[in-house]
Homo-oligomer: A and B are copies of this chain.
């Protein structure tokens, strides 16, 4: 943090230093030589970056008791001191806000929920501020300062500017959320797209650890995708990236809210499935749970809707694989509850549409409940804290946070 109001500056002033810290955070404890190897940097660069981080208490170096050699100097392991700083992550859903307090290692210490009465920015900010206050009290009890707040929202989010450009789900346009939340909470705030935020957590601590290329596809109210290419989450030059939901797989398909036809989201999102199951069966199912219930009961029309949805998702994933060749694709989201209904179709469509050796990509599923999404938001706050090119907003902090 470079703001004069910030209690202290994180002592990693180059991208190499941030990268070294991130490697230890995600893959540690590690020996210094292993950090150098994995970060692709020289031993000298590691030594230079590690010293001030140890002095400031962000890293600690312990003797590796398991690997103590019979002769010679024991290998030391470098790890992050998780208790050195705390972070808050907030994920906004349609009917509630989930907040987590995490340590610097992004371990969840406390998780809280508040219901959401309305979806306008004022209501969401009010509820989020209430949740943050509760979590700050918890942090006070631990005697450790909260160094940042991450907020994850669905839609087109410009992290660099801290602005939610367009969230169809919340019906927001051009909301300067980072600035507003910084003023309300007094914390440095990072705002990001919710799937991208979850992807950061997965890359650091989940199914993407150590992978250079990786995709996280979320299936549920929307169809989202976080992409890691060359070891970094893709943000897009203008804030849009990973829009697998708007890969058009059928020009004769159903109309999508984006204006096109046959987008993956128009065929496979919860709403699309409910609509199509109603049309196919004549049963006025209330939601995706009821729609899946009909399909599980073996109602043919409902099963076909899921088959078509699986086909669309599989083709969307194949498009990602054909363009980027990731090592792994992880499918997650609330839609996993009905996964048995479309798993075969996803796999078949992927295998058919993947080009050449792109089909060798490892496609797997992994349940990630909403706490994990809030943790993803905390991960973006940690990312801003440790990165020299951080995209976070400090205006509010400059006004209100005690130095």
Contacts and interface: CB of A to CB of B under 8 A. Distances in A.
Interface string A225-248: 101011110111111111110111
B324 A241 contact: yes
A130 interface: no
A335 interface: no
B236 A165 contact: no
A298 interface: no
A333 interface: no
Contact of A243 (B156, B246, B323, B389): B323
Interface in A1-47: 13-16, 40-42, 45
A interface: dominant SS: loop
A250 interface: yes
A322 B237 contact: no
Nearest to A244: B323
A207 to B, nearest CB: 14
A184 interface: no
Given A16-B41, A229-B229, A234-B229, A239 B357 contact: yes
A386 to B, nearest CB: 15
Interface in A128-167: 156, 165-166
A69 interface: no
Contacts of A321: 240
A379 interface: no
Interface centre among A165, A325, A361, A389 (most CB of B within 10 A): A325
Contacts of A175: none
Interface in A321-359: 321-327, 352-353, 355-358
B327 A240 contact: no
A156 B325 CA distance: 11
A320 interface: yes
Contact of A237 (B13, B236, B258, B325): B325
A315 B16 CA distance: 38
Contacts of A258: 355
A247 to B, nearest CB: 6
A319 interface: yes
B166 A356 contact: yes
B15 A322 contact: no
Interface of A: 13-16, 40-42, 45, 156, 165-166, 212-213, 225, 227, 229-232, 234-244, 246-252, 258-260, 315, 319-327, 352-353, 355-358, 360-361, 389
30 contacts: A14-B45, A45-B45, A156-B356, A227-B324, A229-B229, A230-B234, A234-B324, A236-B325, A236-B326, A236-B358, A238-B357, A238-B360, A238-B361, A239-B356, A239-B357, A240-B322, A240-B357, A241-B323, A241-B325, A243-B322, A246-B322, A246-B353, A247-B323, A248-B319, A249-B251, A250-B250, A250-B251, A252-B252, A258-B355, A320-B323
